[in-house]
Structure 1
């Protein structure tokens, strides 16, 4: 669980920030308390991981950083069975999206301090993304705005079951999510509790960034089969990965036809250095492995209102579960419930996304 910092501890932290080599007696004098009380507070701060040894190096890892895509989602819903090569009566919904941005918003709605690192255009869509993300609780102060490209756009056509039939992603703007931008924000990103990458970055920038932050806890969202290959050379630097079956095959080189193949793919990833492997299997559930415990958790059958943001909510659920040090089965259960909650809304992000609603969904899953 996340440790709570007391007011007195905050006062001590501020003193130490100003003078890392301050003595306990000097802290006691400044706060008008006994040296023995200061010693107890220092011990508690060390146990909580806030400070590390002499001279009291402050660990300011208080946030999650998400590095990846932010764009506008345009989603079309047909009223009846989708007819190819024809005009279909239906509805069109416009909303802010992007894999990385969606993960970040879900994390923020779950109460996590979340910073987004991405690029948008100097246009109304870019302004809308920043404004709506900030209103959801995300820190968008480090987002880069560029004039050379329009804000990324994702166009999806759903079928009569509200699942994706085809989509087009116009993402050339992410060429501007470059090394210079990463280097500029290096210090704040390096202070993250967890860093989440999606593979919308150009391959050289992606691999450079992953190597740059390899001492942090890194999570990977593979985005698509093609983009997943950008992570192949650095896959072992990730703490947690969440590919689907096709992406897992591409990254491991192992064809997955059955449970034994999943075990072999997971063993490959663990051998490379990955701690937690989650392979999403659609309606069949999720395969999970941490090298010690492994299995498949079946999915609850539902008719989604919109499946577009389900994977992003699942990833956010995994990150939140890691922050709270859950066991692997509980991580899957929490993430799966987040995914179900996401699919129960017509919006890509369910505005009712919260820890309490996820826990209620878990209770419903267990009762059924």
Structure 2
């Protein structure tokens, strides 16, 4: 048994630069390695992660006619995802992300939305049949909110569980909040949405209560090396992370989402088990450089 998952989100070409340290304002630094291009975008990352974890995956996205993302389609096909709903924009270029990673594995990311920001509710309607037959639909905030609202409306009417990864974080309209079943922010995104800094387990609980009071059924706050905090009505807790040598944190959160939605409910995998499975997957991702190239297969996760 496998979950059927629709991912609505961004497709970016990641322009990747490795540095010893970040330059200070006005400073120029030499780098030893030239810039490389990789497949990226939170939507594409999550779709690949979901597919590599074994879920039946459909990806809704948009690229430009510039051919920048052509090399990514081989990886999409190899992962086994349905790419029938990756559309071409008539007016916008393919989205890009400019990523710098330092010697400690920390990253900074600047994103140009491009064609991702041209996704419309009408584009989403083209994939309505796939949304209606899914177990989960997951989205991030690298595509326009009206498109997410339309997708979640279709899902809600069909009894499909909606999952929002509110990244990059921004204040959300009530219409969207009312359509979310599961929300998966990191600690910084949770603070932006709730106004409550995440500093300890008490503040994690306060954040979770904020989301639960909005009618969201499941709250999952990812905390990096500290693990993952979860809350549902009447239950909450902290699931430990796996201690590994971090090389690059890019796509770790996206891998978590993909593994989570692929595993939750499959073979009676409960919430805590799905989070632990997602933590395992993310722990593999951070040990390799790049975004999609670092996302593991289910067989690798199962061997931990």
**TM-score over 0.5 (shorter chain):** yes
Name the residue aligned to 1:8.
none
1:38-49 correspondence to structure 2 within 5 Å: none
Is 1:342 paired with 2:285? yes
Name the residue aligned to 1:289.
231
Is 1:81 paired with 2:28? no
Q: Which of these residues, 157, 167, 188, is aligned with residue 223 of structure 1?
A: 167
Cα deviation, 1:214-273, whole Å, max 9, x if unaligned, reads 2311111112223xx236542242222110122212323434333222112212322322
Q: Which runs of 5+ in 2 are unaligned?
A: none
Q: 1:231 to 1:258 in 2, by over 3 A?
A: farther
Paired with 1:154 and 1:350, the residues of 2 have a C-alpha distance of: 15
Q: 1:308 to 1:335 in 2, by over 3 A?
A: same
Question: Larger deviation: 343-352 or 181-190?
Answer: 343-352
Name the residue aligned to 2:102.
159
Q: 1:94 to 1:288 in 2, by over 3 A?
A: same
Structure exhibiting the larger radius of gyration computed from Cα positions: 1
Paired with 1:93 and 1:319, the residues of 2 have a C-alpha distance of: 30
TM value normalised by structure 2: 0.90
Paired with 2:289 and 2:258, the residues of 1 have a C-alpha distance of: 19
Name the residue aligned to 1:97.
40
Q: 1:127 to 1:82 in 2, by over 3 A?
A: same
Q: 1:329 to 1:200 in 2, by over 3 A?
A: same
Is 1:311 paired with 2:253? yes
CA contact (8 A) 2:65 2:94 kept: yes
Q: Which of these residues, 197, 200, 210, is aligned with residue 142 of structure 2?
A: 200
Q: CA deviation at 1:203?
A: 2.6
Paired with 1:205 and 1:328, the residues of 2 have a C-alpha distance of: 28
Q: 1:351 to 1:75 in 2, by over 3 A?
A: closer
Cα deviation, 1:139-177, whole Å, max 9, x if unaligned, reads 11111012311110000111111210x321110322321
CA contact (8 A) 1:116 1:143 kept: yes
| Root mean square deviation, CA, Å | 2.1
Name the residue aligned to 2:11.
70
SS at match of 2:85: coil
Q: CA deviation at 1:334?
A: 0.5
Paired with 1:278 and 1:210, the residues of 2 have a C-alpha distance of: 19
Name the residue aligned to 1:140.
83
SS at match of 1:140: strand
Cα deviation, 1:109-160, whole Å, max 9, x if unaligned, reads 1121111100001122132222331122221111101231111000011111
1:203-282 correspondence to structure 2 within 5 Å: 203-214=145-156, 215-226=159-170, 229-230=171-172, 233-282=175-224
The structure in which a higher percent of residues are helix is: 1
Q: CA deviation at 1:354?
A: 2.2
Paired with 2:259 and 2:303, the residues of 1 have a C-alpha distance of: 14
